[in-house]
Structure 1
Amino acid sequence: MHDVFVLYNHPDRPQEFDAHYRDVHSPLVNELPKLREFTWGKPSEDDRSYYVVARLTYDSAADAAESMASPAGQKSVDDLANFAGAGVTVLNTTRAG
């Protein structure tokens, strides 16, 4: 399995971020081909290094790359400019074992 973690920095306007992420961005992500699972949430109060953490799960790194290169993937990436102005960090991980 291969996971893509997207770590969102703290936005200037959290309520606008939340509404856009929930109502616009999440539905775009759910349209990604080959996506096995999509989950997201906010870190606990004890660890607020990031505002939101999302995990996209694929069968393989190749599936993740193909998914992100698709028209749906490009639409999802392009949408970041609409709400994630504080920046994001993307981590690709392959599960061991």
Structure 2
Amino acid sequence: MHALIVTYPKPAAAQAFKTYYRDTHIPLAIKLPGLLRYEYAYPDALGAEQPPFFCIWKGYFENEQAMQAALASAEGKALAEDVPNYSPSGAKLSHAEIGGGQP
């Protein structure tokens, strides 16, 4: 399995970000071809230091090729074009092969 990981910096208007993200951007994201599942979160600090990002999204694909195809698709392009509508500072994308299992 392969994950697309997207992180966002803290926005000026946190609640506006969350509302737009949930109501508009996520419905676009779930249209990505080959997306098996997704998750997103707004992490809190576990200690004194704040997390380096405001929001994190992970989308899971069968493999890296499926992820790359999704990003290159019309849906992927529409998704990327939507980012400035709620995150003027943009987003950082990374990806990783997923390992692990049940404890």
Matching residue of 2:20:
20
Question: Which residue of structure 1 lines up, in the alignment, with residue 10 of structure 2?
Answer: 10
Aligned pair partner of 2:57 in 51, 54, 58: 54
How many residues are aligned here? 97
Alpha-carbon distance, 1:40 to partner: 0.2
Equivalent-residue separation in structure 2 for 1:55 and 1:20 (angstroms): 18
Structure 1 segments unaligned to the other structure (5+ residues): none
Q: Determine which structure has more spread, i.e. the larger CA radius of gyration.
A: 2
Aligned-residue identity in percent: 25
Query: For each residue in 1:6-32, what CA deviation from the matched residue of structure 2 results, as whole angstroms up to 9, or x when unmatched?
Result: 011000111111111000000000111
Report the Cα distance in structure 2 between the residues aligned to 1:43 and 1:3, rounded to whole angstroms.
18
Compute the TM-score of the two structures, normalised by the length of structure 2. Answer: 0.88
Q: Is the 8 A contact 1:9 1:52 kept in 2?
A: yes
Equivalent-residue separation in structure 2 for 1:40 and 1:84 (angstroms)? 15
The 2-side partners of 1:50 and 1:6 are apart by: 10
Q: Contact 2:84/2:90 (CA < 8 Å) preserved in 1?
A: no
Shift of 1:95: 2.3
- Comparing 24-33 with 38-47, greater Cα deviation is found at 38-47
Using structure 1 for the length normalisation, give the TM-score: 0.93
